[in-house]
Structure formats: C-alpha cells, structure tokens
Amino acid sequence: MTAPLIDPFARAIDYLRVSVTDRCDFRCVYCMSEDMTFLPKKDLLTLEELDRMCSTFVNMGVKKLRITGGEPLVRRNIMTFFNSMTRHLESGALSELTLTTNGSQLHRYADDLYAAGVRRVNISLDTLDDEKFAKITRWGRLANVIRGIDAAQKAGIRVKINAVALKGFNESELFTITEWCAERDMDLTWIEVMPMGDLGNEDRLDQYWALSDLRKKLAEQYTLTELTERTGGPARYMRLEESGQKMGFITPLTHNFCESCNRVRLTCTGELYMCLGQEDVADLRAPLRASESNEVLENAIRKAIALKPKGHDFDYSRQQVDGQMTRHMSHTGG
Ligand code: SAM
Ligand code: SF4
C-alpha cells in the first residue's frame, strides 16, 4: 500500500466509479440521443489495462469499486474483469465490488457476478409500465429487466432500484414503484434529472421533478424519518415508517453534497473526472501506457487528485440550465 489519496479539501478518496464502455443496448431519452456515435474500440482501455488501473487505485486506498457505463454488461468478456477484481476482495484491500446496470443482460450474469464477489447491484428502472418503459429507454424491454432482477435476487445479490424522477412521466407511479420495491425487499433511490449533454430532443427543464416535491407527495401516505446515514455521495436517506423501507434521494441540483465527496470517476478511455459537475479531467491512459511500472501512473493519479475541485455549479434556480455539462452521463458513468 502507498499513501492514501487525500484531496486539497482533506477529503479521502476511497471510492472509484469506473465506466467500462460508452456503449449501451438502451437509448434512454435523458441520457443518450438515438443516433449516438460511440468511441472507436481502440480508444478504450483494454480489460488488462482496466485491471491495472483499478488495481493501482486499490493500492492507493480505494476501498469501493463501482463498475458502470454505458451499460457495463454489454462490454465483451466483462466477467474476465470482474473475476480479476475478486483477488482484491479476497485480500481485504477492497471492501466492495459492485455495479450499476440497466438490468437487460443481468439474467445471463447474475450467478457469475455473485461468484466474483458482487453482493449488491444498482438497477436503473424508471417505470413499471411496459409501454412507458419502451418509450423512455427507446430500445429496452421491461420483461428483460424484471428477469434480471429475479436472477440477481435468486443468486443472493441485493438489489437497489434507481429511478430518475421525471415530471409527467413517473409522477403517477410514485406509490406503485415504492410498494413494488417494498414487496420485493429492494431499496429505492430517486434521482433528480441532471442537465447532462445536449440531447437536442428533450427539454431538461420540462422533465425536472424536484425531489422536494416528490417527498411532499410521499408524505401524504408515509411517515418519513430522515436518516443520518451518508455514503459520501449525493444521496440522502429516509425511512418510510409504515413499510420500514429505506429510500434514497439524489438531489445534486437542490442540495450541496460536495463537502463529503469521497469519489472520482474513470471513463472507459482512462480519463479521470474529479467531479461529476465540473470539466476538470486528467488523462491517465498515457501515463498507464508510458511505462510498465506503476510509478508514472501513481504520480499522475496523485497530481489529478490534487486538482479535485471543491464542488459543482449545477443550478436550475434562474430557470435556465446553468453549469450545463456538455458530456453525457454515459461518458462519466453517472
Ligand atoms: N447503463 C447503466 C444504468 O442505466 O444503470 C449504468 C450507466 S447510467 C449512465 C447510470 C445512471 O445514470 C442511471 O441510473 C441513469 O438513470 C442515470 N442517468 C443518466 N442520465 C441522467 C440524467 N440526465 N440525469 C440523472 N440521471 C441520469
Ligand atoms: Fe444506457 Fe444507462 Fe444511459 Fe439508459 S441510462 S442509455 S441504460 S447508459
């Protein structure tokens, strides 16, 4: 182990989110345009390079790895990578290996993921209505995702559902989705839609459903108790007393969560984003490829962490999308 990663604001960086591909088998309207141009495969880190990159971070104190994308489970031979990370769980260096997925391929991989040491998975699902699901994901089929959830639970993997709160879209399903998650013993987190990328076809402000409003609606039927639990990320948690459920709220636009931020994001081309809402980025692919020893890479990582900004600048309050990011969530992995 080398010295742990501490940023200029004394935040220990122990959580790395890794996008393993920018490709996806869905085209969710808030995330991608229908005719996305993807990166040439040669620009992507190979699975071996991803292993070396993640192992270097683990060696520098990263305890939690979340694999994401694009859709991580469409990356060819992705299980090779998961299986190679198992050694860090076994050595105790890594405390959690997990992923965020749209669930479409999960039925094929659930048992293997469990065998690799994955115990929790986040599955993104915004609606329980077949037609609405097809509309919001453009290319997805709800039945496949349900099949994936079934397989994950059967394998012994705990499932959390992430739903993007969308005005006029899933407002009417607030209670149905909540009850469905309770019945299946799954935690549920609502995400406020973020101004990511220029998708051209959707107006971010029209879709914006403030989670403070969602919470008010929820309080009509449930007694909500705020939990003090924080994970170093943008989520806050409430307990629904009547069902005992834990519900998360990710409100990057209405809450400042930056002071406790413990994470950085690696793209599939080896760029390190220090903050989801800022453009600060460091290329780690060149230092990785520059030398077979990890020293150059470690130095580049330390230099990058030293640039981690204090916070982000998203703001809807002036009725225009300020601080809008030009990159898509599929690029940084959400
Ligand atoms: N494909 C995987 C999935 O959908 O879970 C992983 C990558 S996806 C980019 C990660 C998360 O970002 C998903 O939960 C998705 O709903 C969320 N997301 C994408 N675009 C978003 C946006 N504009 N605002 C808020 N969340 C967004
Ligand atoms: Fe794909 Fe996930 Fe983006 Fe939907 S949110 S298009 S599933 S990467």
CA distances for 192 relative to 160, 218, 289, angstroms: 16, 15, 38
- pLDDT category, 158, cuts 50, 70, 90? very high
Q: Whose CA is nearest to atom 11 of ligand 1?
A: 334
What does the block give as tokens for 121? Answer: 């998975």
Whether the per-residue pLDDT at 325 is higher than 90: the answer is no
Q: What angle separates helix 130-137 from helix 142-155, to the nearest 10 degrees?
A: 100
According to the per-residue pLDDT averaged within each range, which of 4-18, 178-192, 198-212 is highest?
178-192
Per residue in 186-208, pLDDT (tens digit) is 999 999 987 655 565 555 557 88
User: What is residue 8's predicted lDDT score, i.e. its pLDDT?
Assistant: 87
Pocket test for ligand 2, best of 20, 22, 24 (most atoms within 8 A of CB): 24
Tell me the whole-structure pTM to 2 decimals: 0.92
Whole-angstrom CA distances from 248 to 21, 208, 303 are 26, 18, 33
**Which of 164, 170, 209, 312 to mutate for ligand 1's pocket (most ligand atoms within 8 Å of CB)?**
164
- How crowded is the C-beta side of 328, counted as CA atoms within 13 Å? 24
pLDDT surpassing 60 at residue 217: yes
Inter-residue contact 125 to 28 (CB < 8 Å): no
- The percent of residues in the chain predicted with pLDDT above 90, rounded, is 74
**Helix/strand/coil (H, E, C) string of 88-130?**
HHHHCCCCEEEEEECCCCHHHHHHHHHHHCCCEEEEECCCCCH
pLDDT confidence band for 322 (50 / 70 / 90)? very low
- One-letter amino acid of 139: W
Contacts of residue 234, Cβ cutoff 8 Å, sequence gap at least 6:
250, 251, 252, 255, 257
pLDDT of residue 157: 98
Per-chain mean pLDDT for the chain: 89
Determine if ligand 2 sits within 6 Å of the CB of residue 28. Answer: yes
Give 31 Cα–ligand 1 centroid separation in angstroms.
6
Q: Three-state DSSP class for 314?
A: coil
Question: Dmax over Cα atoms in the chain, in whole Å?
Answer: 59
Q: Give the DSSP letter of residue 310.
A: S
Nearest to 73 by CA among 38, 24, 30: 24
Q: Which ligand is nearest to the CA of 125?
A: 1
pLDDT at position 256 is: 60
Residue 313 is predicted with a pLDDT of 61
